[in-house]
Structure 1
Amino acid sequence: MSEELWDLRRVLAEIKNNPADYHETDELIDPNAELSGVYRYIGAGGTVERPTQEGPTMMFNNIKGFPDTRVLMGLQASRRRVGRIFHQDYKTLGHFLNKAVLNPISPVTISEKDAPVHEVVHKATDSDFDLRKLVAAPTNTPYDAGPYITIGVVLGSSMDKSMSDVTIHRMVIEDKDTLGVYIMPGGRHIGAFAEEYEKANKPMPITINIGLDPAITIGATFEPPTTPLGYNELDIAGAIRNQPVQLVQGLTVDEKAIARSEYTLEGYIVPNERIQEDINTHTGKAMPEFPGYDGDANPALQIIKVTAVTHRKDHPIMQSVIGPSEEHVS
């Protein structure tokens, strides 16, 4: 009997019968500032506007404008829940994660037919392609610069393909095929790769992977010197699960995608071009930051041109983080 593979759906199946860990609703919810308004009462924690609490993750099954999409919030907004997800004592998670860093298990590449994330494919060359209709990215407040992908794991490689890595960046949907991405100066390994491409004036192929086993999203948050340049943080997820993360070749870019994601966006970081973060709203704000205030919009974000959106066919899950929740600040 083959080993059951880890992904977001397996995690949710394990926790869904525990009211402390999981809650869902079929009520119609607007992704524009309403999702976060509901969830802050359920279990956001952190520095989000009171009242709030440590509570369950929440699945929204009925999203206005996105009839076949579910949105999940707060999966990692409780250290106790993360401990249960990893089958570990939450009090010693730090030791457990350190062991994972020291005992990496590298990802493997699987065939196209075995990759659930490629069950449904939308290409930018399609006449009706529009990120704003395909990706149920919420806004946290009416002042947000736009709909944000808040927990998209960006996978990219050095120009010579000798190194690959994953990091998480905030990304705002600016147009039907355009994202603005904030890569912090010295932005870890993806930032180093992007700088290399920009100096060569070449677009950098990437995939943005959404709806993942928390082993991947938490593993992706490690930084140097713990994980120096050349260390692929997907190796940490492999060690956490004692099972390699499965990758699949992208359909429109020369880069790998995480095969058991709920969604993947393929595209390129455009060299030597920038975009105003709030170019559509002109609110002067980006989204709520972890200390609890609305962050200022960045005047010059890097640009991602999206070439494809792929997802699972059975009610794919758009995972999101409400800022500034416990999930955001932990």
Structure 2
Amino acid sequence: MTFRSAPRALATATAALLALTGVTACSNDDSPAGADPQRVDVVAGFYPLQFLAERIGGDAVAVTNLARPGAEPHDLELNPGQVGQISEAELVLFLHGFQPAVDEAVEQQAGDRAFDVATVEPLLDATAGGHDHGHEGEEHAEGEEHAEEEHAEEEHAEEASDGAKDPHVWLDPTRLATIGDKLAERLGTVDPDRAGDYTARAAALRTELEKLDTEFAEGLKTCQRREIVVSHTAFGYLAQKYQLEQIGITGLTPEDEPSPQRLAAVTEEAREHQATTIFFETLVSPKVAETIAREVGAQTAVLDPIEGLSAEGDGDYLSVMRTNLQTLRTALSCS
């Protein structure tokens, strides 16, 4: 079933009125898709895909982000207007497995107009970038406490045992650049007259993302520590790319409550690696991270997985990633 909030003629008239009065629609409102016939209507499931579409599409696209600033995008629920946007869009950008409600709406409404960015490159396993304890060869004959810690680790890894994948691919700038290249190709198929423009903008964005990659590689090359204790395991791509090891308080779903055993295990690991900082996120409560920080005498800091911006005007993907880099350099005592 296709939901439409207004007939096409009314949408066109409304767009014309907005243009005459100089009013610009918000990029994540519930206005109907297809209001501007001169631009390609793109719907993005969450912020990093919006960023890609806007940078590569430029003035030739009108981008709607289904996830509003400040909202956690994992558990996004769509209203009928948003389902209508998906049904009318000329291109729908989503990442299968990240937002179940979007997956369902895409399957029912988008057809061949959908572009699943998870198909561009193989996704990492949910455990990628995780901490390797290096206990091989050690004797634990009387290690009852260690056995409890191992049990907590096994419990924590259960979600990955069934082949769960980490969707946070955008935290590797080079992978995001490759997705951008494929997006340019897809936009060129939808809008052949401007295909060359899309390709050129994707190339320019790739240059910026490769520069960012170099900054991370150089900035994290020499650090006193390489373990990052994070509120949820969103940083596997970043950890793998820059030889870090993430210790997640919870798994891939940030709202999950960690068990007492898991909290004890993470606290012990934080002490073991002399962590000075426990990281939390902008869109999730910091309470658990603060609890562990108090236990080990560490401070807390934001490490942003950039699933969404906390508010309009909070910079963009590139600026938030650079803030993350400075936060990591401080926390890991990098020279």
What is the TM-score when the length of structure 2 is the normalising length? 0.24
Q: Select the structure of larger CA radius of gyration.
A: 2
Structure possessing the higher relative contact order (Cα contacts under 8 Å, 6 or more residues apart): 1
Identify, as 1 or 2, the structure richer in helix: 2
Give 1 or 2: higher strand fraction.
1
